[in-house]
Amino acid sequence: MQRTITIDCPPEILMGIHLNAEDFAFYLKKQAAISLFKEGKLSSGTAAAWLDISRTAFLRIAFDAGATLLEDSADDFQRETALL
């Protein structure tokens, strides 16, 4: 089941960051996916699927944003290998 979340955004914000509404929506979605991954609330595979990109591409983006793949905990290992 797909859910849509609506966020109010004044036009001056879009003009200030030089993005149209569609590109800004994807930017926010990408930032949310990275943040949720970094917090351990979303696996890299689920985040990649949500963004419709490969897991490798997502991990590259997440690492550039300061994420780590595993913190040597059993929970991290289980979460990351669950989709294999």
Tens of pLDDT, residue by residue, the chain (84 residues): 889 999 999 999 999 999 999 999 999 999 999 999 999 899 999 999 999 999 999 999 999 999 886 666 677 677 767 767
Query: What tokens were used for 12?
Result: 């001056």
Query: What tokens were used for 76?
Result: 């991290």
pLDDT of residue 84: 72
- CB 55: neighbour CB atoms within 10 A? 16
* pTM (2 d.p.): 0.77
Smallest CA-to-CA distance from 65 within 54, 57, 76 is with: 57
- The tokens 């996916």 sit on which residue? 33
Q: Give the whole-angstrom CA distance, residue 56 versus residue 34.
A: 13
